[in-house]
Amino acid sequence: MIERAIITSPDGRLHLDHALPAGLAAAPPDAGEPSPEGEILTESSLRRLERDNMLAALARAGWRIGGEGGAAHLLGCGRPR
């Protein structure tokens, strides 16, 4: 959970309330289609899209976060230094 909080931290601070997605026991949703050209997404829509994308990466990686083929690798995220 701590590693996920670090990966999803936008400002270098741990946000443990965002570490585990709501409804983790449920099957992860598909990432969905990108917004049509010209459509403006609200902050809430962007967060939902980002969350869905992270869940899709976790599902594809077999719920592994780090290492070769892990969700962080699929998302292009490096380890914090």
Category of 23 on φ-ψ map: left (φ > 0), alpha (ψ -120 to 50) or beta: left
Q: What does the pLDDT look like over 2-54, one tens digit per residue?
A: 677 767 777 767 666 656 555 543 444 444 555 556 788 889 989 999 999 99
pTM (2 d.p.): 0.50
| Sequence-distant (≥ 6) Cβ neighbours of residue 74 within 8 angstroms | 57, 60, 61
Q: What is the mean pLDDT of residues 47-65?
A: 91
Please report which confidence band the pLDDT of residue 80 belongs to, taking 50, 70 and 90 as the band edges. Answer: low
Q: Is the pLDDT of residue 62 over 90?
A: yes
**Residue matched to tokens 């969350």:** 51
pLDDT score recorded for residue 40: 84
What is the Cα gyration radius of the chain? 13
